[in-house]
Amino acid sequence: MSFIAAGAEILEDLVALRRDLHAEPEIGLDLPLTQAKVLAAIDGLGLEITLGKETTSVVAVLRGAKAGPTVLLRGDMDALPVKELTGLDYASTNGNMHACGHDLHTAGLVGAARLLAARRGELAGNVLFMFQPGEEGHNGAGVMLGEGLLDATGEEPVAAYAIHVGPGPMGVFMTKPGPVLAGSNELHVTVRGVGGHGSQPHLTKDPVPALLEIGTALQTMATRKFNAFDPIIVTVTQLSGGEALNVIPESASLGATVRTLSVASTEKFAAESKQLAEGIAAAHGCTATVEFVVTYPVTHNDPAATANTLEVLRGQFGEERVVQMETAMMGSEDFSLVLAEVPGTFISLSCSPDGLDLSTAEFNHSPRVLFDDSVLGDQAAALAQLAFSHLGPQEA
């Protein structure tokens, strides 16, 4: 039986699991309810289970009938602090929401574990299932790596794969070699001057105009000092200054998210933004302190692994359902930390419900975003087939 047919047979169970996860989402690194549901769902599959110490992760190892390499499959489990507005009958009511589809990722990985366990006798090697908390800005992948994730089978994986759902035509897989997602970075700038009365700015060194000028100049810098074919995105999302309307504050600050697609542009922005902020502040008689933090590096797909991914998926699902992307997406992922250690591929899978206008469909992180969980059978089959391409019998 093909993995696609086998995935269809377990679809009902996977949908039930996904909806159970969706109704009780948890955020961050501590997901006890989610962990318990995952453990119940993979119970009886003969997997070697290791639980996280600093987080509620689940590392599950499936050992094949014969010795061989290890392949890692990842599913992230955490939700977002978003109040759900979908109107679904299984919608969350606890103030959190699986607005990024991690409930599908978790259920899909459970499905892959079931499909591969059923064909354990054909496997020459091991499958390492990575059920990960804390992807949404909590460095969950980094924590799991620090706790020895890659040593779980006794040897480092030869390949790693993850599938992430999003809006778009139902059941279309998308990926590309090289940079596929941007690196995520934080910029914090604080301008310090001399405060005073709002009616007498000439007696002060007002940090607010300097800060506003820096915010505007950052946008110009992004388009004038960086190659359009190695683009960056700078979005100022936080501004803070004084509290009283008639008081010029001593200091003012901004925060921005910065997305980059290469190490070179990341390093260049760190240097250029510091020079720019300090220069503008000095022109206003103020000083500036600049902090630049790399949160997640660029998610980089290994070219050879991604060529294999495209071939495997096209062989299973047909050319019309597999697209090689032309450009990277500017979102970020901590699976980048895994791909920095193991060659592999990060894959997008679109799954908007039928009848939804794709031109106006809400995107991930929206309180109204919708995903069609009938894709779960194919999602599980795709992950299973990718692992099988390394560990299963190869056609002559």
Is 177 in contact with 303 (CB distance < 8 Å)? yes
Q: Which two tokens stand for residue 387?
A: 């692992």
Phi-psi sector, 394: left (phi>0), alpha (psi -120 to 50), beta: beta
Nearest to 161 by CA among 392, 335, 394: 335
Of residues 26, 76, 373, 378, which has the active-site annotation?
76
Q: Which two tokens stand for residue 255?
A: 């925060």
Is 78 in the active site? no
Nearest to 258 by CA among 286, 293, 284, 230: 293
Cα 225 from Cα 232, distance rounded (Å)? 10
Of residues 26, 78, 135, 136, which has the active-site annotation?
136
Cα 291 from chain centroid?
A: 23
Cα 280 from Cα 337, distance rounded (Å)? 35
Q: Which two tokens stand for residue 384?
A: 């299973």
Q: What share of the chain is helix, strand, coil (3-state, %, to 5)?
A: 35, 25, 35
Q: Which two tokens stand for residue 116?
A: 């591969």
Q: What are phi and psi of 96, to 5 degrees?
A: -110, 165
Helix (H, G, I), strand (E, B) or coil at 45: coil
Nearest to 72 by CA among 126, 14, 35: 126
Cα 42 from Cα 60, distance rounded (Å)? 9
Q: Which two tokens stand for residue 58?
A: 């689940």
Cα 129 from Cα 60, distance rounded (Å)? 5
Nearest to 76 by CA among 96, 100, 40: 100
Is 333 in the active site? no
Q: Greatest CA separation found in the chain?
A: 84
The secondary structure of 87-129 as a DSSP string is --TT---SS-B-TTSHHHHHHHHHHHHHHHHTTGGG-EEEEEE
Active-site residues, by number, are: 76, 136
